[in-house]
Structure 1
Amino acid sequence: MMRTMPDGVEVVANYADAARLGLPPLLILDAVEEFMDAKGLGIGPLSWCRIGDGQSNVTYRLQRGTEVFVLRRGPRPPLPRSTHDMVREARIQQLVRKQGVPVPEILAICNDESLLGVPFYIMSFLGGTVITDRIPDYLSTTAQRKATSAAVVDTLVQLHQVDVSAGELAAFGRPEGYLKRQVQRFSALWEVNTTRNLPEVVSIGGWLERNIPTSQAATVIHGDFRVGNLMFEPSSPARVMAILDWEMATVGDPLADLGYLTATYSEPGSFSTPLELTTVTREPGYLTREQLISRYRERMHVDLDVLPWYQTLALWKASIFCEAIYTRWLKGERPGDTGFGPSLEEGIPRLLDGARQFAGVGSTVAS
C-alpha cells in the first residue's frame, strides 16, 4: 500500500527529522523529491512503499501524480562498498539492456552520498509478476508451469551469451582467477561477519579451494540468479519481463550462476534452506533441477560434470552473506526484522548442510 506520510523510522520528511533518529533513515522524502525534480522525474508530492524481499539492498516504489518509479539503495551504513555499489549496479544494467537483456530502464543515478547517506538510483516501474509462494492464475496450467521454468533457464542463457570480449562490459570483472578469488574473499568475510563458531564454514571453504575447476567461459553473471529475481509478463504465455537485483553482477564464470540457480531451486523432496524463496516450484508441472541443467547444457554446450562444485560454492557463499545479515540483526541494525534475521540462527547451519550434500561428502569435508 502506497503511503504519503513518513513512518519516522525508515522514512522521514526532512533532514531535521533524520537527525533526531538513533539510526539513519532509508528515505528522506524532501531530498528524494528535490533529486527527482532536478532529473525531471514526475511532479508533486511523493508517495512510497517498500517492495520486494531483498535482505541486503533496499527497493522502494515511488509515485508522483500518475507516474510510478522504483528507487534502489544500499542498507544503512556502515557497509562494505564492494557489495553495495549502486552506481556499478545501475551501469551494468544499462549495458546489458543495450544488448537485449530484459532489465528495467535506469532513469537516474545519484552518487552524492549527502542526500541519503549512500548512493542510489531510480529506474522504471514494471507492472509484472514476481513468483514466490503463489502461482499466478494465468501461469497455473501444467503447460505454463513448464514454460515458466523453461523461461528461467532461457533467460539465463540469454544473459550468458552477451558479448563481453570488448567495450565497457569487458572491464566489469576479471574472469581469470575469478573462482579462486571468490573462495578467498568469502573465507575472509566470514571472520569479520560472524559472532559464533561454525567450523564447517572453514572445512567447506578448504574443500572448495582444493578442488577449484577450470573455468570454461567468461560471461556476464548476475550473482543472485533465481526465480524470485525475475519479473514475468502479466499475461500468458510465460515470458520474463526483467531480471532484478543486480548487486552481485560481474564478468566471471557462468556456471556460478547455474550453480546458484539449481542449488537454491525448490523441487519435490529437496532440502529447505533460508534461500527457498520461491516455493511453488515444488508443485507438479515445473521442471526439476536436472531438467533445468539439461536445458542449459543444450543451449550453452558446456561440460557440467563439475556443476556440484559450483552448487557447493553457492550455498557456502550464501551461508556467509546470510551470517552478515544475522549479525546485523543481533546488533539491532535491522529494526522491524522479526522473521528473516532471527531465522538464520538455524537457517545458516541448514545452508552448510546443503553445501555438504552437493559436495558429496559427510559431516567432515576432507576430500
Structure 2
Amino acid sequence: MTDDSEATTDDADYLDRLVDEDALRAYLTERLGSADRFAVHHHGEGHSNETLFVDWGDRELVVRRPPPGETAETAHDVLREYRVMDALQPTDVPVPTTVLDCEDHSILGSDFYVMERVAGDVLRSAEPERFETPEARQRVGEELVDTLAAVHGVDSDAVGLGEFGRPEGYTERQVERWTTQLGWAFERTADERTVPQLREVGDWLAANCPPDHEHALVHGDYKLDNVLFAPGTPPDLAAVLDWEMATLGDPLADLGWLLSYWRDPGDPDPATPELTATFMEREGYPTRRELVDRYEEATGIEYDHDRFYRALAVYKLAALGEMFYRRYLEGNSDDPLYPTMEDRVPALAERAKRIVEGEEPL
C-alpha cells in the first residue's frame, strides 16, 4: 500500500495544533476501513469552527472541530452541529451527508465530526461566471429563500429535534444575550473608544421585542455564504452549512439576519466591507422586498416587525465585532479582522440606528 500523506497550509504549526494526522488516520481506519490515500488540507475561511478537508481513498471528507485551546462551555459546539445535520438527512433540507461524530479528545484534542464533502461553490465575495445572467441571479435568490422556508418547515419532533431548544421567549433572550455580550466587551474596549449608539439600539430592541412569534427550527447564521451551490446551471442549492448556532426559536430572526446581509441597488456603503458581498446589487438578483414576498408565500408566515428583526441582526453583528475587538486588545487573537472592529463597530451602530429610525427601509 502506498502512503500519499500530506498536509498543506500557510501555517504548518497551526495545522499541527488542529490535527494529529497519525491519530486521525488510525481513527478513520478503524471506523471506515483502510485507504491507500490520506491527505489533510486546512480550509482557512471563517472565524469560528475549523474545517479540514480530508482525502480518504477515493472519498472526499470534511472534519469539523473547534479552534485549538480553551473555549467557553457552549461555544464551538460541533457535536450540536452534527446532531442537527444528522437529523435533517431524511428531510428536504439539503445538508452534507454525515459520517462520524467523536467525543474522544485523545484523537484531536477536542470533539469533532466527519461528513462527506459537497462539490460546488460558496458565493462569498463574488459570483461564479456561470451565474452571471439575470436568470441565474434570480434563481440564486429564490433557492436561498426556498431553502430557508424548508428549514423552517421541518417537523422538529418527527426528526428527533423536539427538545433541541426553548422556542418560547427566544427573541427576547436574543436581545438579552447580545446585550450581555456587548457589556462584557465594553469592559475593555471603552478604554479605547465608546459606542453609545449601541446602548441606544439595545434599549430600543428591549422595548420593541415582538410579544409572540412562530416556533421553528432556526439555523442561526443563515446567509448567502453559508450555503453551497452545486456545479453547473441553473443554480441548485446543494447544502446548508455551519449549523453551530441552530436551535428551536423564532424563524423571523433567521430571515432578518439574511436580509441584513442582502444588498439592494443604491444601498449605503457596507459598514463591514470585509464581511459584506455587494454583487447581489447587480441586475437580476431579487430585492429584499422580493425575498420577503417569496418567503411569506412559501411559509404562510408574515414578516412583521421588519425594523426590529433587521436592527437585531445588525446589533448582534456589532456585539460580535466588539467581542472580537476586546480579544484583539487583550492579545488573544491574531485574526486581521479583529482590529478593524475599532471603526467597524461604530459604523454598524450607525447602521442599526438608521434601520430603527426608518432611514434604511426594507
Aligned-partner residue type, residue 308 of structure 2: W
List aligned pairs for 1:159-198, cutoff 5 A.
159-165=151-157, 168-194=160-186, 195-197=188-190, 198=195
Between stretches 36-45 and 67-76, larger displacement belongs to: 36-45
**Aligned pair partner of 2:114 in 117, 122, 131:** 122
Counterparts of 1:173 and 1:287, CA distance in 2: 32
Identify which of 320, 325, 348 aligns with 1:351: 348
Cα 1:281/1:66, change in 2 over 3 Å: same
Q: Partners in 2 of 1:26 and 1:325 — Cα distance?
A: 21
SS state at 2:94 partner: coil
Amino acid at match of 1:82: T
Please report how far the alpha carbon of residue 307 of structure 1 lies from its aligned counterpart in structure 2 after TM superposition. Answer: 1.9
Equivalent position of 2:55 in the other structure: 63
Q: Does the Cα contact within 8 Å between 2:189 and 2:326 map onto a contact in 1?
A: no
Deviations along 1:215-240, one digit per CA (max 9) or x if unpaired, are: 33111111110011110110111110
Aligned length: 347
TM-superposed deviation, 1:86? 1.0
1:26 equivalenced with 2:23 (yes/no): no
Paired amino acid for 1:57: N
Q: Give the gaps of 5 or more residues in structure 2.
A: none
How well do the aligned residues superpose, as a CA RMSD in angstroms? 2.2
Post-superposition shift, 1:361?
Answer: 6.5
Preserved contact between residue 53 and residue 63 of structure 2 (Cα < 8 Å): yes
1:4 aligned to which of 7, 28, 37: 7
**Contact preservation (8 Å) 1:103, 1:241:** yes
Distance in 2 separating the partners of 1:81 and 1:268: 42
User: What is the CA-CA distance between 1:41 and the residue it aligns to?
Assistant: 6.2
Judging changes above 3 Å, is the alpha-carbon distance between structure 1 residues 143 and 41 closer, same or farther for their aligned structure 2 residues? farther
1:168 Cα deviation after fit: 2.3
Q: Which range moves more in the overlay, 260-269 or 110-119? A: 110-119
Partner of 1:111: 103
Using the TM superposition, name which of 314-323 and 190-199 deviates more.
190-199
Structure 1, 159-168 or 177-186: larger mean CA deviation: 159-168
1:100 aligns with 2:103: no
Partner of 1:308: 307
Match of 1:227 in 2: 224
Matched with 1:328 is 327
Task: Find runs of 4+ consecutive structure 1 residues off by over 6 angstroms.
Answer: none
TM-superposed deviation, 1:316: 0.6
Q: Which runs of 5+ in 1 are unaligned?
A: 13-24, 363-367
SS of residue in 1 equivalent to 2:100: strand
Aligned to 2:267: 270
Deviates more, 1:114-123 or 1:228-237: 114-123
Q: 1:56 to 1:4 in 2, by over 3 A?
A: closer
Aligned to 1:150: 142
State the partner residue of 2:205. 208
Amino acid at match of 2:247: T
SS of residue matched to 1:270: coil
TM-score (norm 1): 0.88
Out of 224, 239, 255, which is 1:242 matched to?
239
SS in 2 for 1:107: strand
Specify the SS of the correspondent of 1:171. Answer: coil
Pair 325,58 (structure 1): closer, same or farther in 2 beyond 3 Å: farther
Counterpart residue type for residue 309 of structure 1: F
Change (3 A) 1:31 1:269: farther
CA 1:358 to 1:184, structure 2 compared with 1: closer, same or farther past 3 Å?
A: same
Q: Which amino acid aligns with 1:140?
A: E
Please state if 1:319 is matched with 2:312. no
Question: Is the 8 Å Cα contact of residues 99 and 115 (structure 2) preserved in structure 1?
Answer: yes
* Deviation sequence 1:6-64 (CA, Å, 0-9, x none): 7442112xxxxxxxxxxxx2222222222222221662564222326311111121123
Alpha-carbon deviation of 1:241?
0.1
Distance 1:143 1:176, change over 3 A: same
Cα distance in 2 for residues equivalent to 1:3 and 1:341: 31
Q: State the one-letter code of the partner of 1:280.
A: F
Q: Which amino acid aligns with 1:342?
A: P
Distance 1:86 1:210, change over 3 A: same
Q: Which residue of 2 aligns with 1:288?
A: 287
Aligned partner of residue 203 in structure 1, secondary structure: helix
Q: 1:166 Cα shift?
A: 5.2
TM-score normalised by structure 2 residue count = 0.89
Cα distance in 1 between the residues matched to 2:72 and 2:143: 34
Counterparts of 2:136 and 2:12, CA distance in 1: 43
Q: Return the alpha-carbon distance in structure 1 between the equivalents of residues 175 and 22 of structure 2.
A: 42
Give distance in 2, aligned partners of 1:187 and 1:78: 23
- Does structure 1 retain, via aligned residues, the 8 Å contact 2:88–2:159? no
Q: 2:78 aligns with which of 51, 74, 86?
A: 86
Q: Which residue of 2 aligns with 1:137?
A: 129
Change in Cα spacing, 1:156 to 1:167, as seen in structure 2 (3 Å) is: closer
Q: Would the alpha carbon gap of residues 41 and 154 (structure 1) be closer, same or farther in structure 2, given more than 3 Å must change?
A: farther
Offset of 1:123 from its aligned partner?
Answer: 0.7
